[in-house]
Structure 1
Amino acid sequence: MELNKQPLLILVICFILGILFQDKFLLEDGRVYFVIIASLVILLALLFHSYFLHKTKALILGTLFFCAGIILHFFNADPAELKPFGKEKRVVVFMITQKLNSTEKYKKYEGIAQLENKSIKSVFYLPKNSKDLDFVHYYKSEVFITKPYSPQYDFQFDYSKYLKRKNIQYQIYLSKEILSAGRNDLNISDKIRQQRFEVLKKIDEVKISATTREFLKGIILADRTEMDADTIQDFNKSGLVHFLAISGTHIVVIFGMVYFLMIRLVPLRFRSYTVIFSLLFIWLFSGFIGFGNSVLRSCIMLSVYFIYVLLQRKPDMLHSLALSAFIILILDTQQLFEVGFQLSFIAVLGIFWLNKPLLDHFPKQDTYLKKLVFNTITISLSAQLATLPLVLYYFHQFSFISIIANFIVVPFSEVIIVFSFLMTTLIAIGFDFELINILYDFIIQILLKVIHEFADVDKFFFDDISVNLVEVLLASIIVYLLRPAVHKFDFRNTMNLIMAVLMFFTVRAGYCAVENQKEEILLHDSGRNKVLSVKTGGKVCFWISDMADRDKILRFIVKPYCSSRRVDRFIIKPLPGSVQKVVFKDQIYDIK
């Protein structure tokens, strides 16, 4: 790939670097206003077509987009800190804008509360056995209001920072007694959310197994809020979570289904409008399911691609990718820090970079079956290789079985998505065919069992893998060097790849050696439970005051700690109730 032929991609990279710069250094008002003035000067300079400016035009444009990233992210920064509320109860009026994934104890919603004559975005927690809230009512309840706090230690997920990026600063815990009143200020978005809510309730009434119902709601309506935790874990461990989430695959399949029907049903004189109608349909569908981030990304990328086609210009995947990223980040620069945003765009880059060289090593694709099988293998492998560094960095786990699982399951994904879409459509309009329900339930149960079998193959599953940003960069260089090595297997390309791999493992060994020399003692809060961790070299012992919470502590404290500190061995022991203090290296730690 010659970068000078991808000016839009380069400019988007400069724009992203500006966002990252502002997010890291948080330039204050005065300096940002200076950047704004500098950007205006650059714009004026571009109006002059001197020889010097012609030679430096690329650098000037890159600087301009870098400044634009700083400016937009400044104005899209976290809101000003709001004051914390006390522990006393108070009465709050609120409305719901989105349902979130439930926990073991609570149903979770995102909504807007009226606090001190201000409309504040908040996360609402409702007891699990309470009735679902809808989008056409105002609600009133006695609540506790808290602010999300940053975690104790760096290895824990910073939920407060995640919420702040969504402009959410409060968590509100509701009582079971909630009063409601109909809203008379509904807009189009509220009405669409309510329609989707009613379709979800209709699916709950269909006589199929609970796991199949939740799968149907997740794969078509992007609702995984009540999905069983074991099912989600199976999809994660098997590397098939992309199949469950609404993503580019789903949007492309639905687009293809509509286009296929249109060219057969629409008169010949209207055939030129089939692409436009199909694009319009996926945008309407995306609006119906809530314009989720992954859905919006997919729709924009697909629309940009086919706009090239409609304008009779040769479609360019990188131009489409860059323009899509630019549109999304202009609308919301915080999207850059969404894991889904990063993984989806890196996956597309990986497919562009590796798919063709890998496909060239397969036999000629002279039949539909060969094209389907070989493209499934190479596309899946390209996307997984490209996203592997980020997957390890964010999730600290990887399964080699995912390659086989994707090879077996993905070819059937089109059939499953189309069947699920038709099922949802039939349920939405009120048709209930028992035979179709039984058939769909049977197919999905087989699918879930196959995925469960893949997830149970622990020999190929690795977790607690620690990777830092330096290692991510080095691993990404290895992926970059794979293309020339696969395309032309000669001494030079092979040695470049081998040197990059050796560099990665050398740096990784250095980080592990440094970490394994450290000793550390930490006190962790886990509700009412107290956890003491004592690390000596490459092993750590966790002392737990209440072993009843062992599984929870293992998930949220032990494993994140071990992956962060590159610890291979750990043991868990009960902490005697009589222990009040611990002395470690002449320092006293108060347990109580």
Structure 2
Amino acid sequence: MKKQPLLILVVFFILGIVFQDKMVLAGAAFYLVIGVCFAVLIAICFHSYFLHKTKVVLLALLFFGTGIILHHYNTSAEDVYSSLSKKETVTFKISQKLNSTEKYKKYEGIVQVGNANLNSILYIPKDVKELDFIHYYKGEAYITKPKAPEHDFQFNYVQYLKRKHIDEQIYFSKEIVSAERNDLTLADQLRQYRFTALNRIDKTPISEKTKEFLKGIILADRTEIDAGTVQDFNKSGLVHFLAISGTHIVVIFGMFYFLLIRFIPLQFRKYAVILSLVFIWLFAAFIGFGNSVLRSCIMLNVYFVFILLQRKPDLLHSLALSAFLILMGDTQQLFDVGFQLSFLAVLGIYWLNQPLLKLFPKQDHYLKKILFNTITISLSAQLATLPLVLYYFHQFSFISIIANFVIVPFSEIIIVFSFIMTAFVACGIDFGLLNKVYDFVIQILLKVIHWFAEVDFLFFENISMNGFEVLSVLMIVYLLRPVVLKFNFKYMMRLTMAIIAFLMIRIGSNIFENQKEEVLIYSLGKSKVFSVKRRDKVCFWISDMEDKAKILRYIINPYCSSRRVDYFEIKSLPSSSQKVVFRDQVYDLK
């Protein structure tokens, strides 16, 4: 507690959030928590020998209770939809553009229906022109709630939207009218300027894939990237390259700082740091405050506050403070996959980077230092995030390790080049030669990434991973540091025991799942799917083979990873089938 008090208190704050999310305290129990927190807060203000000895426990209890209270208010929301009819004429404004579907453009927006304001997902027909942030829109819409998943292994879209404080999906007809807004906030103006910059990129004479890459890597807009490119980044383990994260923020901060010190005298160098931090926050506001962006900005600010105050910077203090500030604003962010991966990656770098770096030859040259640090940082982050990647996405490619070693060293150059391109395009400056060079470089980059993604024999999917396995693998990563720093029998035995514990949990989980037999019926659109599972094998009967790719993605793969199935086969089910008889039991397919 003496070494990392803030980190430990934030851990208790997070435990309080998780406790409230699972237990859902309400009524008298919730008010009891408020009373206890208030009593603890008063007790901490008094001075006595007993309170001094128990102050650490009281502070931990206070942060735990605060997590419960804040998460209670973040999850308590009035259900406005129950008082609405399904078809309504609504007025709305958009707040964020989302990934499009085959039929619709998707937006997140605020919809006004009567006296109610709903934060909703908006589905706009694709032939309607692009919506902006400086207009109100009005149209007839069909209001509906998202459907809960039929089975436990399917993605819970209802819970996902609820954590984003969204309860409704609204589908609009083609008749949409607009009126210019007169209540624009600074945030709206920044979103609109970003929207203008994105449109100017669309008009730039470079290839479509390069345009989408440029919009994603600098302006955090990946809504129109084609499915093939996204799959290449996912399979090669380089999807983090597109997400605005710590690397982007640090590189852009370095650009601003490099330019400012050319004009500011040496004695005022600290003002160059302050101005660079201001520019970073403006940039973060311009592209939208994502989790990784916000975390990176806060950590960078805390780090340089330590520097400016001439105190030794502490990475864990910075990490804990950024997590606390983000969760104070919205406790639901804790359950966001990006939030978890972002913070776990930084913890992995803190825990493993220096020990791994000591295994390399002495960094007596700038290029060696850059190369070795790139490799160890990438490996540390991948090891730390691997358990969660397998838990959420059930896939991993060993080629991602090599791909990161090859691509990441050039990431700073790509980010700087992309930022300069974006700045020129946003300002309406067109350099034909620069466009051609950038297009050429990015096309080569995308081809290299595609080549890595095509190495299928190193790509594994439908990997099962439950919570206990995640914790056991994280323990292995934790125990890896002392083994790397000082290889001896004691540390090696601890690591070996952790590995054995993981294998026992995994084998036990596999045996438990393989003993089950299961018959299920699913629906995906108009397609019906019937499955029979016996031990580690399952057979799927599909009524419409044209939807095979979608069924494979949304039903078969999630089922296999959830039930730890090693072998599956797909058979055709007549589309006219109404019922299925299996083992003298009738299953209705209607």
Partner amino acid, structure 2, of 1:427: V
Q: Counterparts of 1:86 and 1:579 in 2: how far apart (Å)?
A: 37
Q: Counterparts of 1:262 and 1:86 in 2: how far apart (Å)?
A: 55
Match of 1:424 in 2: 422
**Residue 475 of structure 1, aligned match among 457, 473, 476:** 473
Q: Counterparts of 1:476 and 1:236 in 2: how far apart (Å)?
A: 22
Q: Counterparts of 1:541 and 1:201 in 2: how far apart (Å)?
A: 48
Q: Secondary structure at the match of 1:236?
A: helix
Within 5 Å, give how 1:523-562 maps onto structure 2: 523-562=521-560
Match of 1:403 in 2: 401
**What's the CA shift for 1:78?**
4.3
**Residue 498 of structure 2, aligned match among 497, 500, 512:** 500
The alpha-carbon distance between structure 1 residues 509 and 542, as it changes in their structure 2 partners (threshold 3 A), is: same
Match of 1:25 in 2: 23
Match of 2:575 in 1: 577
Within 5 Å, give how 1:143-222 maps onto structure 2: 143-222=141-220
Q: Secondary structure at the match of 2:75?
A: coil
Within 5 Å, give how 1:427-466 maps onto structure 2: 427-466=425-464
Match of 2:362 in 1: 364
**Residue 230 of structure 1, aligned match among 209, 228, 231:** 228
Within 5 Å, give how 1:510-525 maps onto structure 2: 510-525=508-523
Match of 2:485 in 1: 487
The answer to whether the 8 A contact 1:85-1:146 is kept is no
Q: Which moved more, 1:71-80 or 1:527-536?
A: 71-80
**What's the CA shift for 1:126?**
1.2
Match of 2:413 in 1: 415
The answer to whether the 8 A contact 1:42-1:60 is kept is yes
Q: Secondary structure at the match of 2:260?
A: helix
The answer to whether the 8 A contact 1:542-1:572 is kept is yes
The answer to whether the 8 A contact 1:85-1:145 is kept is no
The alpha-carbon distance between structure 1 residues 101 and 145, as it changes in their structure 2 partners (threshold 3 A), is: same
The answer to whether the 8 A contact 2:81-2:168 is kept is no
Match of 1:132 in 2: 130
Q: Counterparts of 1:78 and 1:466 in 2: how far apart (Å)?
A: 33
Q: TM-score, normalised by structure 2?
A: 0.98
Q: Counterparts of 2:391 and 2:441 in 1: how far apart (Å)?
A: 35
Structure 2 residue 588 is matched with structure 1 residue 590:
yes
Superposition RMSD on alpha carbons, in Å?
1.3
**What's the CA shift for 1:87?**
8.1
Q: Counterparts of 1:268 and 1:154 in 2: how far apart (Å)?
A: 62
Q: Secondary structure at the match of 1:108?
A: strand
**Residue 123 of structure 1, aligned match among 115, 121, 124:** 121
Q: Counterparts of 2:76 and 2:400 in 1: how far apart (Å)?
A: 37
Within 5 Å, give how 1:355-394 maps onto structure 2: 355-394=353-392
Q: What whole-Å deviation, never above 9, does each CA across 1:340-385 have from its counterpart, x for those lacking one? A: 1111111111111111111111111111101101001111000000
The answer to whether the 8 A contact 2:233-2:449 is kept is yes
**What's the CA shift for 1:36?**
1.1
**What's the CA shift for 1:576?**
1.6
Q: Counterparts of 1:4 and 1:238 in 2: how far apart (Å)?
A: 42
**Residue 323 of structure 2, aligned match among 305, 322, 325:** 325
What is the total number of aligned residue pairs between the two structures?
Answer: 590
Moved segments of 4+, more than 4 Å: 84-88
- List gaps (5 residues or longer) in structure 1: none
Q: Counterparts of 1:517 and 1:130 in 2: how far apart (Å)?
A: 52
Match of 1:345 in 2: 343
Partner amino acid, structure 1, of 2:156: D
Q: What whole-Å deviation, never above 9, does each CA across 1:372-424 have from its counterpart, x for those lacking one? A: 01001111000000011111000101111111111110010000000000000
Q: Which moved more, 1:458-467 or 1:572-581?
A: 572-581
Q: Secondary structure at the match of 1:281?
A: helix
Q: Which moved more, 1:250-259 or 1:97-106?
A: 97-106
Q: Counterparts of 2:454 and 2:588 in 1: how far apart (Å)?
A: 42
Partner amino acid, structure 2, of 1:460: L
Partner amino acid, structure 1, of 2:131: L
**Residue 90 of structure 1, aligned match among 88, 91, 103:** 88
Q: Counterparts of 1:579 and 1:111 in 2: how far apart (Å)?
A: 42
**What's the CA shift for 1:53?**
1.9
**What's the CA shift for 1:270?**
2.5
Match of 1:246 in 2: 244
Q: Counterparts of 1:175 and 1:547 in 2: how far apart (Å)?
A: 30
The answer to whether the 8 A contact 1:518-1:536 is kept is yes
The answer to whether the 8 A contact 1:466-1:563 is kept is yes
Partner amino acid, structure 1, of 2:128: S
**What's the CA shift for 1:84?**
4.8
Q: Counterparts of 1:533 and 1:86 in 2: how far apart (Å)?
A: 38
**What's the CA shift for 1:31?**
1.7
Partner amino acid, structure 2, of 1:488: K
Q: Counterparts of 1:586 and 1:52 in 2: how far apart (Å)?
A: 71
Match of 2:301 in 1: 303
Partner amino acid, structure 1, of 2:314: D
Partner amino acid, structure 2, of 1:332: D
Match of 1:335 in 2: 333
Match of 1:11 in 2: 9
Q: Secondary structure at the match of 2:262?
A: helix
Partner amino acid, structure 1, of 2:398: F
**What's the CA shift for 1:82?**
3.5
- List gaps (5 residues or longer) in structure 2: none
**What's the CA shift for 1:586?**
4.1
Q: Which moved more, 1:204-213 or 1:528-537?
A: 528-537
Q: Which moved more, 1:579-588 or 1:160-169?
A: 579-588
Q: Secondary structure at the match of 2:77?
A: coil
Q: What whole-Å deviation, never above 9, does each CA across 1:136-155 have from its counterpart, x for those lacking one? A: 11111111111012111111
Partner amino acid, structure 1, of 2:388: L
Q: Counterparts of 2:361 and 2:86 in 1: how far apart (Å)?
A: 71
The answer to whether the 8 A contact 2:154-2:558 is kept is yes
**What's the CA shift for 1:105?**
2.0
**What's the CA shift for 1:304?**
1.1
Q: Counterparts of 2:450 and 2:43 in 1: how far apart (Å)?
A: 61
Q: Secondary structure at the match of 1:164?
A: helix
Match of 1:281 in 2: 279
Q: Counterparts of 1:116 and 1:525 in 2: how far apart (Å)?
A: 35
**What's the CA shift for 1:308?**
1.1
Match of 2:48 in 1: 50
Q: Counterparts of 2:155 and 2:404 in 1: how far apart (Å)?
A: 29
Match of 1:264 in 2: 262
Identity rate, percent: 67
Match of 2:105 in 1: 107
**What's the CA shift for 1:85?**
7.8
Q: TM-score, normalised by structure 1?
A: 0.98
Q: Counterparts of 1:587 and 1:80 in 2: how far apart (Å)?
A: 43
**What's the CA shift for 1:172?**
0.6
